[in-house]
């Protein structure tokens, strides 16, 4: 009796081995390709428009102008550079306050207490609402005529304030709104980091007689550094590109945008108010490079400290 043994398909075996070794990339490849296209195509189109004199309609015929739009933007000391200053003022102000308040709240929620679950739910409620709805709500609260904020000030004898229309108060007011909505996100990130820490270093510092502040500053905070960096990265990127709250509070019927004209608002005005798509695209490309540079600086400093 003759037994025939089939030879294995060498090509299929080698392909199967290769696929098994790289399976983590193969499974992620479709999503990576889709996300990459969603990023690369709009970015490439914006880069192309930034080198043209596109006006009125991006589908209309337009000429190539090279770096003229970038030179026009970078030499604009009336709108562009003040918008850069407001952008970083808004971002840094919101980020610092959210980190401070977020850390304080996370430390309070770190240890279990009675009613902890309900307190956590209440703190996370601002995250449920959409930014536009939040902006409309605070726009009514800060309304100079019927707003609750000025009515509350009137009870203590303080005159009404131009919360959203004053040049000195508009941006700080919107920083307050951003802090109110997004501090819970920082709380979630920091609380996740705190709950993952071991209790042994803190207990050792307590036995050695360290105070609460010393245990936080010299033990807890250094162990939480990576989590803090993650919170800084996520919130700084989000705060830099904030537009919805600004538009909802200062949009149609909300007065001039100039008090809160960040780079996003500036590019929006160039595109939809003046139909100057070439210059608006140049602003967005410069803004994109600023964000990349800022994120690189944060991650570079993080790697330097870890080494």
> 90, 174 in Cβ contact below 8 A?
yes
159: left (phi over 0), alpha (psi -120 to 50) or beta: beta
Other beta carbons within 10 angstroms of residue 229's beta carbon come to: 16
> 253, 37 in Cβ contact below 8 A?
no
> 260, 166 in Cβ contact below 8 A?
no
CA dist 230 and 299 (Å) reads 9
> 94, 178 in Cβ contact below 8 A?
yes
Q: Using one digit for the tens of pLDDT, what is the confidence trace for 80-127?
A: 999 999 999 999 999 999 999 999 999 888 877 777 788 888 888 888
Is residue 57 in a domain? Answer: no
pLDDT of residue 257: 60
Q: Using one digit for the tens of pLDDT, what is the confidence trace for 136-173?
A: 889 889 988 888 888 888 888 888 888 888 888 889 99
Query: CATH number of the domain that 152 lies in?
Result: 1.10.3720.10
Is residue 32 in a domain? Answer: no
Is residue 106 in a domain? Answer: yes
Other beta carbons within 10 angstroms of residue 86's beta carbon come to: 21
Q: Which residues in the chain come in under a pLDDT of 70?
A: 1-13, 15, 56-61, 250-257, 301-307
> 190, 112 in Cβ contact below 8 A?
no
> 255, 26 in Cβ contact below 8 A?
no
pLDDT of residue 293: 85
Other beta carbons within 10 angstroms of residue 119's beta carbon come to: 14
Range of the domain at 170: 81-260
Is residue 306 in a domain? Answer: no
Is residue 218 in a domain? Answer: yes
Compute and round to an integer the Cα radius of gyration of the chain.
26
Is residue 209 in a domain? Answer: yes
Alpha helices by DSSP H, listed for 196-256, are 200-207, 212-215, 221-223, 225-240, 244-250
Burial of residue 84, with CB atoms counted within 10 A of its CB: 0-12 exposed, 13-18 middle, 19 or more buried: middle
pLDDT of residue 113: 76
CA dist 236 and 287 (Å) reads 13
Is residue 289 in a domain? Answer: no
For tokens 């996520």, the residue is 234
Residue 275 CA to its chain's centroid (Å): 27
**How many domains are there within the chain?**
1
Beta bridge partners of 64: 52
pTM of the model: 0.83
Is residue 228 in a domain? Answer: yes
């Amino acid at each position: 009796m003759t037994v025939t043994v089939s030879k294995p398909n060498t090509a299929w075996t080698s392909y199967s081995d290769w696929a098994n070794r790289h399976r983590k990339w193969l499974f992620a490849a479709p999503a990576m390709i889709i996300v990459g296209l969603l990023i690369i195509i709009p970015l490439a189109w914006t880069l192309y428009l930034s080198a043209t004199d596109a006006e009125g309609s991006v589908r209309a015929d337009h000429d190539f102008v090279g770096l003229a739009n970038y030179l026009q933007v970078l030499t604009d000391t009336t709108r562009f550079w003040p918008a850069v200053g407001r952008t970083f003022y808004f971002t840094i102000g919101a980020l610092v306050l959210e980190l401070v308040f977020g850390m304080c709240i996370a430390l309070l929620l770190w240890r279990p207490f009675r009613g902890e679950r309900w307190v956590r739910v209440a703190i996370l409620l601002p995250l449920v609402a959409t930014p536009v709805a939040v902006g409309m709500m605070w726009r009514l609260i800060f309304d100079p005529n019927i707003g609750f904020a000025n009515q509350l000030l009137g009870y203590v004898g303080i005159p009404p304030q131009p919360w959203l229309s004053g040049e000195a108060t508009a941006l700080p007011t919107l920083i307050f709104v951003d802090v109110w909505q997004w501090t819970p996100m920082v709380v979630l990130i920091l609380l996740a980091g705190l709950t993952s820490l071991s209790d042994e270093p803190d207990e050792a510092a307590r036995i050695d007689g360290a105070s609460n502040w010393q245990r936080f500053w010299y033990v807890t905070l250094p162990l939480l550094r990576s989590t803090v960096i993650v919170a800084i990265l996520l919130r700084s990127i989000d705060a830099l590109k904030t537009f919805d709250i600004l538009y909802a509070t200062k949009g149609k019927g909300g007065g001039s945008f100039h008090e809160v004209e960040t780079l996003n608002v500036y590019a929006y005005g160039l595109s939809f108010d003046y139909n100057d798509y070439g210059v608006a695209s140049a602003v967005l490309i410069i803004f994109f490079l600023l964000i990349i540079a800022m994120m690189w600086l944060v991650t570079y400093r993080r790697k330097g400290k870890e080494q």
